[in-house]
């Protein structure tokens, strides 16, 4: 479990992991980044009262480096990745281990079920859980059990991930997708089991959400630069939306100034149609009560959150396409420090 500034979530995340019912011994390795909110003090207290919990340092707060350090410090043949802002459902690990044995897969993952405590976070959770929000990946919106491109978090065979070289420490976002790509290229199977569920607590503010999605989009572009067509076409939807907005803005300016008029202006106005449909879909999603949008605040935040996610991700993707990810990091769990985050 990579950990950084998770004082509000760490205790519950740890409890959900330690209370898993599995056949055999377990341990929990926390890779501690340089937290500034008392998280590491909480982690040390947890380790003092439960011998199953071990602490390793992750001074750069880099996700793949923290994961690799935790894996190397562990001793058992099955690796369960856990995030400090997530909670495993009861029976998650036992079911995942059984699925590993039943399918022969190297990595098994399930559904990320986002939850929120306040209106903004609930709106973000609705977007995460909706095909409109994050593009309909199986681990967001569900689907039939079977072979998968990647796995959320993941319950992995140690020998398989060690054989392909653990997580690539040069990739700061999307490291799980890239590891699963190498597993599949090595002849292993990655498996999706919809019976597995993890509660995920998303970002709590608009600026943090935008920063998170910009960094994620930038790194997805880096993965496209490295691996090309192995990336799903859904990753290209947000940058396409941003380019469409840019074109629509130019067309609107030309129409307002009279540069475009008559039939040519009418034809150019077709650029507004997909944007109008996009707006209708978002408003429709916001107005429904599906996914917890019961209050006015929930509905209004949903209308703000979904475009924020798409535009931020798309802007990051275009930036990453032009210049690569470089040293881009996600600072959404810190205030003002340019440090990589879980």
Pairing of strands 107-114, 155-157: antiparallel
Smallest CA-to-CA distance from 20 within 67, 57, 52, 68 is with 52
Task: Return d(Cα 114, Cα 117) in angstroms, integer.
Answer: 11
**pTM, full prediction:** 0.89
Q: How many CB atoms lie within 10 A of CB 147?
A: 11
Q: Which are the contacts of 126, defined by CB distance < 8 A and separation ≥ 6?
A: 114, 116, 133, 285, 291, 292, 293, 298, 302, 305
Give the phi and the psi of residue 191 in degrees, each rounded to 5: -125, 140
What b/e string do you get for 226-242 counting C-beta neighbours within 10 Å, with b at 16 or more? Answer: beeeebeeebebbbebb
Task: Return d(Cα 254, Cα 316) in angstroms, integer.
Answer: 27
Q: Give me the torsion for CA of 328, 120, 87, 282, rounded to 10°.
A: -80
Full pLDDT tens readout for the chain, 342 residues: 999 999 999 999 999 999 999 999 999 999 999 999 999 999 999 999 999 999 999 998 899 999 999 999 999 999 999 999 999 999 999 999 999 999 999 999 999 999 998 999 999 999 998 888 876 666 666 789 999 999 999 999 999 999 999 999 999 999 999 999 999 999 999 999 999 999 999 999 999 999 999 999 999 999 999 998 777 788 899 999 999 999 999 999 999 999 999 999 999 999 999 999 999 999 999 998 676 667 899 899 999 999 999 999 999 999 999 999 988 888 776 655 444 444
């Amino acid at each position: 479990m990579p950990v950084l500034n998770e004082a509000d979530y760490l205790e519950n995340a740890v409890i959900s992991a330690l209370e898993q019912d599995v056949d055999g011994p377990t341990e929990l390795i926390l890779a501690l980044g340089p937290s500034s909110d008392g998280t590491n003090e909480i982690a040390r207290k947890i380790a003092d009262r439960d011998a199953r919990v071990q602490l390793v340092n992750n001074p750069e707060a880099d996700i793949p480096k923290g994961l690799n350090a935790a894996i190397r410090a562990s001793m058992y043949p099955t690796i369960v990745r856990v995030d400090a802002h997530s909670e495993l459902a009861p029976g998650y690990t036992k079911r995942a281990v059984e699925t590993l044995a039943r399918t022969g897969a190297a990595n098994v993952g399930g559904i990320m079920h986002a939850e929120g405590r306040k209106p903004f976070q609930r709106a973000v959770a609705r977007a995460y859980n909706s095909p409109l929000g994050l593009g309909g990946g199986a681990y967001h919106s569900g689907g039939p059990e079977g072979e998968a491109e990647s796995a959320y978090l993941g319950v992995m065979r140690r020998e398989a991930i060690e054989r392909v070289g653990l997580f690539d420490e040069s990739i700061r976002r999307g490291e799980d997708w890239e590891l699963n790509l190498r597993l599949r290229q090595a002849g292993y199977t990655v498996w999706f089991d919809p019976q597995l569920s993890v509660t995920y607590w998303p970002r709590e503010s608009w600026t943090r959400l935008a920063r998170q999605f910009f960094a994620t989009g930038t790194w997805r572009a880096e993965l496209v630069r490295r691996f090309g067509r192995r990336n799903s076409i859904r990753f290209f939807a947000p940058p396409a939306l941003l380019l469409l907005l840019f074109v629509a803005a130019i067309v609107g300016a030309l129409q307002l100034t009279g540069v475009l008029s008559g039939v040519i202006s009418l034809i150019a106005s077709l650029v507004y149609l997909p944007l109008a449909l996009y707006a209708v879909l978002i408003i429709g999603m916001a107005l429904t009560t599906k996914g917890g949008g019961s209050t006015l605040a929930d509905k209004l935040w949903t209308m703000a959150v979904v475009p924020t996610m798409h535009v931020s991700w798309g802007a990051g993707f275009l930036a990453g396409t032009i210049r690569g990810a470089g040293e881009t990091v996600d600072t959404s769990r810190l205030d003002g420090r340019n440090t990589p985050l879980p």
